[in-house]
Structures are given as C-alpha cells and as structure tokens.
Structure 1
Amino acid sequence: MTQAVSLISRVSTVDVDPADRVAAWEEYNRRALVGLTCSPYAEQGLLATQTNVRFGALRMADIAGNEHVIERTSAACRALPKDSVFASLVLSGEAVFYHGQGCLTLGAGELVMYDTRRSYLFGFAAPMRQLLVDIPRELFAEVPSPVRFSADSAALRALRTLLEDVAARPEAVADGADETVLDLLRALASGGAAPLFAAKDYIDRHLGDHELSPARVAAAIGMSVRHLGRLFAAEGDTPARYVLRRRLARARRDLADPAIRHRTIADIAHRWGFASHAHFTRVFRAEYGHPPTDLR
C-alpha cells in the first residue's frame, strides 16, 4: 500500500528576469516554506528551483540552486512566524549554517535540524541541492539549538534513501512514510544530541498517558529523577511544566481543528492527559489568557 504524496507547488527562477529573481524567490518561500531573505553570489544571478510536496503530516521541499545565502533574521521570525522544526539534508555541495550559538559546516549527506522560531543563516558557496523536511512543532520535541548529523549514521542513510524516494518516485512511497521519517529523525536526535532531547521526545510521544510522570520518563531514558530535573533546570524549566505546556498545546490544536468539532472539550482534555475538566480549563486560561470554549 502506498502513501499519497501530493504536489503543493513548484517554482523556478530560470525564466524570471534576473532583476526580479531574488524578490520572486523570497516571495515564494514566504508563502510555501518560511520567511527569509536571499543574497545570490553567482554572476548570472540566482538560478534556483523548489518543489514542495506533502505526505501525511509532513511537508518536504526539494531545493536546488547556485551560489547563494539565505537568512532568517530575528525581525523575520517576529513578522513572519513559523512554528516548525526543519530537518535539512544536503544532497550535493557544501554549506555553512550560522546561528546564535555558533557555526556548523555541512557536506553532502549531512543533515542539520533547527527551530524556525530562531534566527539563522544558511550559505552555499557552490551549486547545491537539499531536501528539507518541515515538521509541525507538535509532532517533535523541542530543538534548543541546531544539531548537525554526519553522513556515516545508519539512521541518516536510511532517511536519505526514503526522502530521495519521496522526491523521485512519489507514486511508490510506502504507506506510513511520514511516520518512518519521524522515527528516523527521533532516532538521530536521541542518539546524537543531549539526553534532554531524548527526555522531551519520550514525553511528546506519551502525552496522552495519564500515568506519565518524571519517574517514568527518567526510567525510560535510563537516568535518575534528580538528574532529569537538573537537565530541565538548565533551561529554567521542570519536567512537570514541560509536560503541561505540551499537553495544552496539543489540546489547543485539537480544539481549533474543525474536523473534530464533534468531540467535547472534556474528551479532548482527557485525550491529552487531563483527568479533570475543571483543572484543564483553569490551566488553559492561565496559559493562553482565555478559556478553551473560545476556540469552539
């Protein structure tokens, strides 16, 4: 059984007047991917193509171009908000990725994972191609800072094969490919990043479990409850507060979803781990400044 891969849109600057290419590229990305600015460095100007598809809960952009730099500034993050995690796989060329905490270099076959709510700069000094997976925030743990993954990872090699199939043979993509992509990215992140990511990922996958607790999370990832608390404290947080925020975010998404308006507020609250409707209403109002009924 195959999974539907639907084309969202496609663009090329090749046939655009050279003077208008950058503006056209920035406008397209603003609508199809993320708000950014672009600076080309080739004599012929920006020559770039992008194909955007959807499969399951994920979107993917297949991007190719000549020498250029794209930047998502702090101003763009405020003016054009985007609440996603991006996983960008470099297929050809080399790249530099600047962010608030440093600089990463990437070669062909390597991947960088980052948060679109924070500013960054992505530069390519030679012709390039990348496959960029756009992951809705509610489906993935938080990424506190950009993380680079090397090409020698078995999980990354499997991910590359799958993403290339989505791009080249969409009619043959197996059912559940989006979940496979998420599982591979989670395996990468939990194995190559800090234990805090593994904790957040476990929490995000068990938000509906009414027995979810710091002790259960700590046991699942092999550490003490005290050490788990220290990991969250380094970010000014606690495991309990993180669980509450993520549960509220999932419930808020469901409350705003017209496809499930038939579900009661109490049902949705229970689905995301809230045992009491009154407690859910109280913490929802405290978090968002209005009661959950305002979304119905």
Structure 2
Amino acid sequence: MLHRQTVDTTVLPPGERFGMWLDLVARTSAPMRISSAHDDDFAAHAAFIELGPIHLVKYHYPSLEATRTPKLIRQSDPEVYMLALTTDGVGTSSQDGRHSEIRAGEFTFYNVSRPHDVGHHATDPERERATSVITMIPHAALPLPPHRMAALFGGKMSGREGIGALLAQFLLQVTGHPEQYHAADAGRLGAVGLDLATTMLGRHLVAEDEVPTEVRRRALVTQVQAYVHRHVGDPALSPRVVADAHHISLRSLHRLFEAQETTVASYIRDVRLARCRRDLTDPALRTQPVQVIAARWGFPDKAHFSRVFRAAYGASPQAYRESTSDPARIVNRPASTVNPPPAD
C-alpha cells in the first residue's frame, strides 16, 4: 500500500484545531496567512501521499482565505508549484494580476515562491466543507521553461476533458484508493502524474512543442491505455479505432507501443481477458453463463474466446472457473497481466 500520512484536527478540542491547521500548512507546504469564519472550531482533514518527484495532498476543510506575502516567502521558500484541483466547493486564485474562480472539476496553478491569494468556500450550507486535491511539483522537476510558466499563474484549466480529465481521474484514483497500489509503485505513479501535469500545462501554454518528446509519448500511452479500458467491452474496438480516436495514424500508434513490449491488439486482448478472468472468479457472478461474461468484454465468438483464454491461462474458461472454487484444482499457469492505467 502507498504510504499515506493523515492529519485530523478533530483529535483536538475545538479551540486548538485552527492552530493545528496553521502549523500543518507551514510544515507541509509553505507558511500562509489564513483566515476562516470557522477558526473557533476548524474541523479539517488532510491526507498526504509521496509519489517520487511529486507530492499529493487531499484536503477537506471549512471555508477559508489564505495569502502568501513577500515576508512569508522570505521566511520559507520550498520552491514548488501548486496544481490544485477543486473537487467540491468554489475556489479562488490570484497571482501576478490574474484572478480566477475555480469550480469543481477545474484546476488552478500557482508558484509558491511568489505572492498569491487563494480561497475555498463550501457551496453546501449543510456540510460547510470544501475539498481539493493538491499536486506539489518542485520547480526543478517540471520540464517546462520557467520563464514561460508565469502565463499560467492564477488561471484555471479544465479537468473534465482531454489530458486535464485524465490527470483529474488519476489524482482522484490515487488519493481515493491508495490501498490499491504497492509502495514500490510510488515512483512510477509519480512519473505518470508528472507527465500528465506537464502535458496539460504545456498545452495551456500553447507551446506543446516545448514539452519534452518523451514526456508527450508517455502521456499519450497513458491516454491510449485509459481509452482501451473505457471501451474494452465494445467488440469493434481495434487498433484502427484507437488510432482514430486519438487523431494519430495507425503506424504512429504501433510505434508508440513498441516501447511497451506489446502490440496494441495484444494489449486490447489482454485487458479483455483480465476482465473476463476477474468475472469468472467472482462468486457473485457464479450463475452467469461463461459466454455472457465473454460477450460483456468484447468476445462475441464463443470458440475464439475459449481458444485465447486457454492460451493465456492454461485451461478452458469453464474449467478455470471451477478451479477457483476448489483450491486443490487451481490452475498454476501464470496469468496474462495487464497493468491498468492509474486514472481508469
């Protein structure tokens, strides 16, 4: 499981909670001047996850306003960028003369080394809580021209479409379900997150050519894999369909997968097989016919499904299903493995 550190102010008496939060922000990001109408009982929660080059923070707090002043910057400068995804409530962001209102599903971006103002207000009076996911990116880790980044400070970017949506899904998946990943995955997940963030920021700079080629390639691979996982149940899914959906040639798609040590067709097949295998071993689906499960995941031809399943797992689908209910008969042949994209 990924290492996650959590902080909950409600472990302290109401009168001490706001002070705890101020100390937390100063220690984990950078000191800020924070005000809140709820400072007499600041019930808040934060979860921190380190992913190699980047750090993620999932915040849940009452409405607040925060300012980072030149004096506070002189006192402490961690030299990081903040990429903030609002998930509930309405945020505000202001830096270098740009002011934005950030709705749920939108990002804002700012430089902690420069003065800025941020706010976050709950929209549900019943809960009076706002939530966000913050990605902390060291200046040195972001492979984009530093002098160009100011064009993005205090602005907003969509997390509902394209690379922005994929990045948002990735952040929500990792922070919402860290138990689904191994600690050894942290570095790789961090690299994926950094690639997606870099690509999104590069596109908003209207200078995608400034994003390193390898970063663009890895981000596109992640985007293609997420597309396959979303559409794997469609029997018409094919390399051509995938290429057309991403506006690249079939030849370019095949080249993209050369470094993945598989082909696009094999990846689609393996994802389908992994879904079928999962359902065949699910006790809740025990009464569903094998062919219903196969068709659900893009295998309409019963004979073809049986052949490819046996080649992958060393047994027919029915025999494999039966073996899982009898430990003494479990098939020992290694199964085909498909690593799902983190954002799917």
Instruction: Report the TM-score, using the length of structure 1 for normalisation.
Output: 0.61
Q: Match for 2:139 among 137, 140, 161?
A: 137
Letter in 2 for 1:128: A
Match of 1:57 in 2: 53
Matched-pair contact (CA < 8 Å) for 2:63–2:120:
yes
Larger Rg: 2
Gap change, CA 1:198 and 1:117, over 3 Å in 2: farther
Aligned residue type for 1:155: I
**Number of the residue aligned with 1:151:** 159
Q: Deviations over 1:269-295 (max 9, x none)?
A: xxxxxxxxxxxxxxxxxxxxxxxxxxx
Query: What pairs up with 1:46-85 in 2 under 5 angstroms?
Result: 46-85=42-81
Please give the secondary structure, in 1, of the residue aligned with 2:198. Answer: helix
* Residue in 1 that maps onto 2:24: 28
Q: Structure 2 vs 1, CA of residues 204 and 44 (structure 1 numbering), >3 Å: closer, same or farther?
A: farther
The Cα shift of 1:95 comes to 0.7
Which residue identity lines up with residue 38 of structure 1 in the other structure? I
Q: Distance in 2 between matches of 1:52 and 1:135?
A: 14
Whole-angstrom distance in 1 between the partners of 2:77 and 2:83: 18
Matched, 1:42 2:38: yes
1:169, distance to aligned residue in structure 2 (A): 1.8
SS in 2 for 1:5: coil
Is the 1:6–1:55 contact (alpha carbons within 8 Å) kept by the matching residues of 2? Answer: no
Which residue in 2 is equivalent to 1:285? none
1:123 match: 119
Q: Secondary structure at the match of 1:164?
A: helix
Determine if the alignment matches structure 1 residue 172 to structure 2 residue 174.
Answer: no
8 Å Cα contact 1:87/1:114 also seen in 2: yes
Report the RMSD for the aligned CA atoms in angstroms: 2.3
Q: 1:46·1:67 contact (CA, 8 Å) conserved in 2?
A: no
Partner of 1:234: none
Tell me how many residue pairs correspond in the alignment: 199
Describe the superposition over 1:117-165 as per-residue Cα deviations: whole angstroms up to 9, x where unpaired: 0111111221211111111211113221413102332211111211112
Flag structure 2 segments of 5+ consecutive residues without an equivalent: 123-128, 216-344
SS at match of 1:31: helix
Q: Secondary structure at the match of 2:11?
A: coil
SS of aligned partner of 1:69: strand
Give the AA of the match of 1:37.
R
More strand by share: 1
User: What's 1:19 paired with?
Assistant: 15
Q: CA deviation at 1:103?
A: 1.0
